Chain A
């Protein structure tokens, strides 16, 4: 039985490869960072549209996680009371109009940055990014990343077992400093033992980073246009400041 596609999967996206998507991500972030207050509403709207056309998004609930909203509130609310003179009032609460403008600008920038990074992480495959980094000179990153991903659960488990063994022996109550050193030494030693085993297994199979097949780098014809468009857009933005 095949799973039904989610609404985001059925929506068509711009046919971009990893280079095009990275260009859109960086372009959106740079755009809102470089835009002057006058340009910001237009740039943010354009960036949001481009991001929606390029990336798939998880549910709105995930995007608007309470922790993120709290962070936004911590960024956007103080200007209302601490920037400029409090020349307006909302009921009994005085606030500054200059602060309100700054708060709106912060919110716009925050929303675009959140959309850019969350959309990028939800759409781009880790293998595509590994391929891009390898093409940029980090040879062997794909192999390292594969090993790291497979090792994560084992390392977490061995760290947990070490912690519990030390705690059950009362090592954390007495001689705390020494216990911390034992904990770190054991975790690192266990990780190094695993590294030795994996290296031996890879060498036994005659694996060599030079001869290994590079991770695929998906390039699409539209990537060049996306990169050029983003660059031209940023240039126009700087000229129009």
Chain B
């Protein structure tokens, strides 16, 4: 991965933007226990990440932005939390793999953002059992089973609800990707005009 000075500066700026969002907005949302704060943060992060790829269209640049944001978060005030750091790295890695595999296009942007948002939903269910043991899965299954029983719901309807939530996340991700593409194009045009 070789980047020019200008590209490294752009990576730094987008990494700093993401880091600033994680440190300020992320800390506030988590402290206030705002519902769906993970989705809000992941959407903004993916927006920044994807626009960064438009300005530095090279393999590895998306991951690079993620590493900068990760290190800023790791050394920020307010304590170290493993979850957000895993999320930053995973979202950057997913976006990098999608954009490197499919190339930079509106469709790949939408797919990368959709995958990133679904990851934010799935992350606790993947990292939780990995970090804290498989007993967590049995507990979650038990909680869902008993809640469904208490509400008089069938197992099929629980599955349907989970599917619906995943669909909503996919749609929100696709919208984020579309917005990143549009906003990035507008910013590039504006930037080109200023430089001319």
Contacts and interface: CB of A to CB of B under 8 A. Distances in A.
A198 interface: yes
Interface residues of B, number: 55
Contacts of B136: 75, 79, 106
B143 A121 contact: no
Interface of B: 1-6, 8-17, 19-20, 23-24, 30-31, 47, 51, 55, 64, 67-68, 71-72, 74-75, 79-80, 82, 85, 128, 130-133, 135-136, 138-139, 142-143, 146, 183, 186-187, 190-191, 194-195
A43 interface: no
Contacts of A139: 1-3
A183 to B, nearest CB: 11
9 contacts: A67-B79, A75-B132, A83-B139, A106-B136, A109-B133, A121-B75, A141-B67, A184-B183, A189-B190
Interface string A110-145: 100100011001000010011001000111110111
B64 A144 contact: yes
A102 B139 CA distance: 10
Interface string A136-160: 0111110111111101100110010
Given A148-B72, A209-B3, A202 B67 contact: no
Given A102-B139, A137-B1, A187-B17, 4 more contacts: A113-B131, A148-B13, A191-B13, A199-B10
A139 B4 CA distance: 10
Contacts of B2: 139, 209-210
A109 B132 contact: yes
A78 B3 contact: no
Contacts of A133: 67
Contacts of A45: none
A102 B51 CA distance: 44
Contacts of B20: 152, 155-156, 159
A241 to B, nearest CB: 14
A202 B47 contact: no
A65 to B, nearest CB: 6
Interface residues of A, number: 64
A121 B80 contact: yes
Instruction: Return the 3 tightest CB-CB contacts between A and B, nearest first.
Output: A147-B12, A102-B135, A82-B142
Most chain B beta-carbon contacts within 10 A, residue among A29, A79, A143, A145:
A145
B13 A130 contact: no
Main secondary structure of the interface of A (DSSP, over half): helix
Contacts of A210: 2
B64 A141 contact: yes
Contacts of A155: 13, 16-17, 20
Nearest to B23: A152
B6 to A, nearest CB: 4
Contact of A126 (B4, B12, B75, B135): B75
A83 B133 contact: no
Contact of A195 (B10, B186, B190): B10
A191 B5 CA distance: 16
A121 B70 CA distance: 12
A188 interface: yes
Contacts of A29: 131
A202 B5 CA distance: 7
Nearest to A202: B5
B13 A194 contact: yes
A149 B75 CA distance: 10
Interface string A33-52: 10001000000000000000
Contacts of B24: 156
B79 A65 contact: yes
Contacts of A185: 183, 186-187, 190
A185 B183 CA distance: 7
B79 A106 contact: no
